[in-house]
Structure 1
Amino acid sequence: MSPILFYGVPSGCSFGALVALEWLGRPYRLCRIAMPEGFTEAFRRINPVLETPALLTAEGAALSESVAILNHIAASGIDRGLGFAQGTRDFDRLNRMLAWLNTTFFNAFAPLWHLVDHALPEADEAALRGYGRDQVALAHAQLEAMLGEREWLLGDRRSLADAYFAGIARWTKYHDVVDRKDHPRVQRLFDRLQADPAVVFAHAIERGESPAGGGGFLGHVTLEQALGELRVEA
């Protein structure tokens, strides 16, 4: 049985896991979840907190949270440089970067996503938007410094950290905050990823198109079909 990635639209952070599966090149399927209406009681069996991404593994076990899913994919992609053996320095470096992307870069956008989902008084909205803009700017400045002259987040070859970054970094345009050109190293990495075939494929999938992909994509399944393969709930 091939794994199933539950990805959220529009602009879900599941984008990174989709790119990662394309880079891995092994068979997988997709289940499209429109947010928030797709977060049903049936989907709760896949992820009790009603979020994407989620993954139904080849063994039929439900797995949630981006970092856990990316590490699950990485374990199958060590030979491709997507992940590293546990206990090695590269393994620690990858997990450090994934943790930073999750706790700092991702969370910088949290106030702005709150504004998308909630109506607030004008003064509160302005204050929260300003706070979010400052947090996003700070995260970009930190990443600019961390990148140095590296081509990718970890060095001279891509890893699953870059896939995760690709899904989050596009939110600056979605929320109209921070000009990435003020951070040329971050912009360079973003541009390099936008030209990557797997990233192009993931954008097309989110738009509802039917791209060919790199050979591992086997098509979409419905939530009901996926639940029929569920063996271990989250």
Structure 2
Amino acid sequence: MKLYFSPGACSLSPHIALLEAGLDFTTEKVDIRARKTESGADFLAINPKGYVPALELKDGAVLTEGPAIVQFIADLVPDRELAPANGTLERYRLVEWLNFISTEIHKSFSPLFRPTSTEDMKEAARTHLTNRLGWLASQLEGKDYLMGSQFTVADGYLFTVLGWANFVKFDLSAWPVFAAYTQRVASRPAVQQALRDEGLLK
């Protein structure tokens, strides 16, 4: 398998999942603006959507969209318990978390990165993030991870998007639980490896 990624982007989440899963894979960096891979390939020919992550499977098929990719990875190695078993309520709780992170947290950060965003758009995004993060913080109280004591692929995703706060000067200090949570996730060997591989950790 090959993961197409951009350092620090949401593709960090499946990168963490692949390492947590102990699977054999390669990576190729993508210049999102130029739509080119590090080897010079046209990224739009690989993923016509034009963004990462994209996971190329052994048979040449390409899977896109982070929440789908991380569940696919988790299901390849059920013994690692990166996702609850299919068909269980707990699995739908995982899907619930992945959707919440994707639509309410990930997408709310987007205007803060976009050069064309007006200040009003950015302020609306900050307000929305504040509301959603306040609720999220309450859900993490007293728990090691989103699903309790077990790390899942949803934690790799949440760790990734919370990490963006520093880049866009969004202050998370109102919710001390996030500092403890991100430190806990960051200390995992697979997460450390993914950060090193993407040049985000020396």
Structures share a fold, TM > 0.5?
Answer: yes
Q: CA deviation at 1:113?
A: 2.1
Tell me, yes or no, if structure 1 residue 99 matches structure 2 residue 91: no
Instruction: Give the direction of change, closer, same or farther, for the CA distance of 1:208–1:147 in structure 2 (3 Å limit).
Output: closer
Q: 1:141 matched to which residue of 2? A: 134
Conserved 8 A contact 1:4-1:56: yes
How many aligned positions are there?
199
Moved >3 Å (runs of 4+): 38-41
Relative contact order, higher structure (CA 8 A, sep 6+):
1
Quote the RMSD (CA, aligned, Å). 1.9
Letter in 2 for 1:52: V
Letter in 2 for 1:25: G
CA–CA distance in structure 2, aligned partners of residues 44 and 35 of structure 1: 10
User: Residue 204 of structure 1 is aligned with which of 193, 196, 202?
Assistant: 196
Instruction: String of CA shifts for 1:199-234, please: whole Å, max 9, x gaps.
Output: 22122222188x9xxxxxxxxxxxxxxxxxxxxxxx
Q: 2:2 matched to which residue of 1? A: 4
Q: CA deviation at 1:85?
A: 2.2
Letter in 1 for 2:5: Y
CA–CA distance in structure 2, aligned partners of residues 206 and 185 of structure 1: 26
- 1:35-46 → structure 2 map (5 Å cutoff): 35-39=32-36, 42-46=42-46
Flag the structure with larger Rg: 1
Structure 1 runs not aligned, ≥5 long: 212-234
Q: TM-score, length-normalised on structure 1? A: 0.79
Q: 1:51 matched to which residue of 2? A: 51
Letter in 2 for 1:73: I
Q: CA deviation at 1:45?
A: 2.3
CA–CA distance in structure 2, aligned partners of residues 26 and 194 of structure 1: 20
User: Residue 156 of structure 1 is aligned with which of 135, 149, 160?
Assistant: 149
- 1:71-220 → structure 2 map (5 Å cutoff): 71-115=71-115, 118=116, 125-178=118-171, 180-207=172-199
Conserved 8 A contact 2:30-2:43: no
Structure 2 runs not aligned, ≥5 long: none
Letter in 2 for 1:97: W
Aligned-pair identity (%): 26
Q: 2:70 matched to which residue of 1? A: 70
Q: 1:13 matched to which residue of 2? A: 10
Letter in 2 for 1:4: K
Instruction: String of CA shifts for 1:100-131, please: whole Å, max 9, x gaps.
Output: 1101111110211223xx3x6xxxx3212212
Q: CA deviation at 1:39?
A: 4.4
Letter in 2 for 1:200: Q
Q: TM-score, length-normalised on structure 2? A: 0.91
